[in-house]
Structure formats: C-alpha cells, structure tokens
Amino acid sequence: MSLYPSVLFVLLVTMAAAETLRPGFYAQTCPEAEAIVRYEMMKAMIREPRSVASVMRFQFHDCFVNGCDASLLLDDTPSMLGEKLALSNINSLRSFEVVDEVKEALEKACPGVVSCADIIIMAARDAVALAGGPDWVVRLGRKDSLTASQEDSDNIMPSPRANATSLIDLFTKFNLSVKDLVALSGSHSIGEARCFSVMFRLYNQSGSGKPDPAIEPGFREKLDKLCPLGGDENVTGDLDATPKLFDNQYFKDLVAGRGFLNSDQTLFTFPQTREYVKLFSKDENEFFKAFVEGMLKMGELQSGKGGEIRTNCRVVNSQALDV
C-alpha cells in the first residue's frame, strides 16, 4: 500500500489552503467559541481525565489523512467506509462523544459557524494546556470534509511497531522535520495504550521469539505482568510515568528504556532522533516550544478540497436531517 499519492496531493495544496487560517477567526461570528471549547474540555477532564489525552490525538489522526478536515469524525455510511475503523484507529481512538458535546454547545451559541475541523484543533490545544502543558494561539478557519476514507487512513497512518526510519520518512512527506517528529511524539506524555500494541515487543520482537532488548529489565517485568502472553490485549498501560500530566517525563522514560510503544522507544535507539530525545528530557521548556511549533505546522495541512460547516460532526449536512 502506498501513501505517496495522497501525501503529495496534500503537500501541493497545503500552502495555498493555509493562507485562509488565522488567529481570532471567530472573533466576530462567534466570539465565545474558544472559551466554550475550553469549558467543555474542562468538564470532560473532570469526568474522565483520560478523555482529554484521547481527544488531543485526534489532530494527528485527522490532519495526516487528507488534511485537517474532521474526516476522522464521520461515521460510516452504506456508501462510505470512514476512518474510525481504520487500522490505527479501531479500538484505539476514543472519546468522540467529547467532540459531540463541544459541538452541541457551539451550535447553541453560534449555529452553523464553527467547523468540526477547528474544534479538533482547539480541543487538542486545550487538552495539552489543561494537563499542565503549554498554551498557544491557534489559527482557525477550516472547513469540514464531505467524505472520509478508511483506505487512505490505512495507507498513511503509522503502526505502533513503526521504527524511527519509517516515521522520519512519513513526517518528511508532510514537510515536518525530525525535531517535529520527536516533539510531537511527546503527545504520549499523557494517556494510555493497549497491551495489543506492545505484545510483539514483549514476546517476539522482530520475529525473534524474544523481548525487545531496548526495554529496561525492571520495566519489562512490569509490562509482563500487565500484558501476559495470552492475556486480555485490551488492558491499557500508562504511556509514561506521569500519564495525567503533560511534561517531559515521557522523554526521561525513553532515555531510561521505559518507552511503552516501539514507535516511542525507537526514538532513543535511533541516532538521528536520539539527540532530540536527550534535549527534551533535560529541558522541558525546549520540548514545550518545539511541541507547539509542531502542532501549528501540522494544523496547516489541508487537502484543498471543498467543504462545509457540519451541524453534526458525525455526518455531512445532507444526511444530518436523517440522523
């Protein structure tokens, strides 16, 4: 499966489409928009702290597949297989109801004004800030897609088994640097992941029938207990030692050989990414600065296709009356 046609299409139109994005886009049409999103995210965090980490990841999973257009949020229809059940999303992405709640609040305040695509961008920013991480000004003005593609998501999104080389290649196609890759991987500073994503590391790394030698022995024992061979692979483990706090502990854990996912630990074992892991493990401010830069760059990815402002993030407007 090749991701090149879709990726190159996105890159060719990114700059033109990004010109429409700007801070304060809703200042006149829905001046309370950003405050409403922040309030709804705060309520979600109080109800279930893990939910904000889940919503934060929507930006990556949405923007890399044909741009930041909320295609990720569309439910399947008889004529369209959406992205929610794509390989990287099924049984992994969750908390879609949080976006539903945000959208409902925005529709009450400013009907038909704020796009679901912009909600993802604002909610991701708010998730980081509410968890103790940096806050930043987001550029808004996106439209919502009219369709989604499970196939495109399967072809583009990386596996938890991905190594640093394949991740660098992927991010490069989106004009994102090695530094961006490492900093954005720091989104795993909060949240959890399933045992399913780590079983091969524990018991059959690279088909060896043995565990990944990069895993620190004490941490491997902990993972063996959490994720035993033949056990429930839907059990979740913390992505770092401070899973509810957005900080640089994630990078300290990688240096110590305590990365949960292969795609995380590979950032320290691979020379081209290791120096950034070391830098961010020692300097949290540098991590925060690089993370914000990466999120802003990723938020500029656009397909250039026409869109709309959905009234319900799960369906296009032409179908909304039937829901």
Quickly count: other Cβ atoms within 10 Å of residue 80's Cβ: 14
Active site amino acids? 61
At 14, which helix (H) or strand (E)? helix 4-18
Q: How far apart, in whole angstroms, are the C-alpha atoms of residue 223 and residue 43?
A: 32
What separation in angstroms does the CA of 205 have from each of 161, 209, 210, 211? 9, 7, 6, 6
Q: Residue 308, SS3?
A: strand
**281 marked as part of a ligand binding site:** no
**263 marked as part of a ligand binding site:** no
CA atoms within 13 A on the CB side of 197: 25
Are 310 and 318 a contacting pair, CB within 8 Å? no
**180 marked as part of a ligand binding site:** no
**134 marked as part of a ligand binding site:** no
Quickly count: other Cβ atoms within 10 Å of residue 128's Cβ: 25
Q: HEC profile for 149-173?
A: CHHHHHHHCCCCCCCHHHHHHHHHH
Residue 145 CA to its chain's centroid (Å): 18
Q: Residue 238, SS3?
A: strand
Quickly count: other Cβ atoms within 10 Å of residue 174's Cβ: 20
**100 marked as part of a ligand binding site:** no
What separation in angstroms does the CA of 108 have from each of 30, 33, 47? 11, 11, 22
Tokens of 152: 């495109």
**322 marked as part of a ligand binding site:** no
**69 marked as part of a ligand binding site:** yes
**224 marked as part of a ligand binding site:** no
Residues in Cβ contact with 164 at an 8 Å cutoff, skipping those fewer than 6 apart: 266, 267, 269, 270, 272, 273
Residue listed under structure tokens 């004529």: 79
Q: What angle do helix axes 164-173 and 271-282 make, rounded to 10 degrees?
A: 90
**34 marked as part of a ligand binding site:** no
- Pick out the residues of the known binding site: 62, 65, 67, 69, 71, 83, 158, 188, 240, 242, 247
- Pick out the residues of the known binding site for Ca(2+): 62, 65, 67, 69, 71, 83, 240, 242, 247
